[in-house]
């Protein structure tokens, strides 16, 4: 199973469309700050399952829109959030502890626009950066294979 992870499009969705067409994912995860852009992807790719959370810049969304979610795919537990409620710009201790408390295999967050892919013990910690045109346009690809989890940071 191939999972694409985007965050922080901030009104720019052409990179997402280009990457989806190139990567042909099975699932799309969107980490906030551009839910309207994500909605455009849902319209363009109606067959693609999309799971999303809202970020601090997502206005005009329902009050009950999720800011964090858990998802189990191929027996892999993924905890994802935008990250602003965990103060990720000043450190990752709080969000990493939350992911561990939830027994997550993969932690995904955005907000900082700083791409990150690393392991801490058994936990993958990933920030896809920003898919917009603000500086470096990056995203994460997660492959759930029979041999384990493969994670890569990619540039548009």
Query: What is the structure's pLDDT at 46?
Result: 98
* Distance set, CA 110 to CA 15, 45, 76, 85 (Å): 17, 23, 20, 11
Query: What is the structure's pLDDT at 90?
Result: 97
Domains in the chain (CATH in brackets) are 2-155 (3.60.21.10)
31 with 130: CB under 8 angstroms? no
Nearest to 101 by CA among 73, 129, 128, 68: 68
Q: Look at phi and psi of residue 16 and say left if phi exceeds 0, alpha if psi is from -120 to 50, else beta.
A: alpha
Residues of the chain with pLDDT under 70: none
Query: What is the structure's pLDDT at 5?
Result: 98
Instruction: Report pTM.
Output: 0.96
Query: What is the structure's pLDDT at 135?
Result: 78
List pLDDT tens digits, range 35-48: 999 999 999 999 99
CB atoms within 10 A of CB 96: 19
Query: What is the structure's pLDDT at 143?
Result: 97
């Amino acid at each position: 199973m191939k999972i694409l992870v985007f965050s922080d499009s901030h009104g720019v969705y052409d990179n997402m469309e280009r990457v989806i067409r190139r990567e042909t994912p099975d699932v799309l995860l969107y980490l906030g700050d551009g839910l309207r852009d994500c909605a455009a992807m849902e319209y363009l790719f109606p067959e693609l399952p999309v799971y999303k959370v809202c970020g601090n810049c997502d206005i005009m969304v329902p009050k009950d829109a999720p800011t964090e979610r858990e998802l189990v795919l191929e027996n892999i537990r993924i905890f994802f959030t935008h990250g602003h409620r965990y103060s990720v710009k000043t450190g990752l201790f709080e969000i990493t502890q939350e992911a561990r408390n939830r027994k997550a295999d993969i932690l995904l967050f955005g907000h900082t626009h700083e791409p990150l892919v690393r392991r801490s013990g058994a936990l993958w910690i990933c920030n896809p950066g920003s898919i917009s045109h603000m500086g470096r346009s990056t995203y994460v690809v997660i492959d759930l294979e029979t041999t384990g989890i493969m994670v890569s940071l990619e540039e548009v």
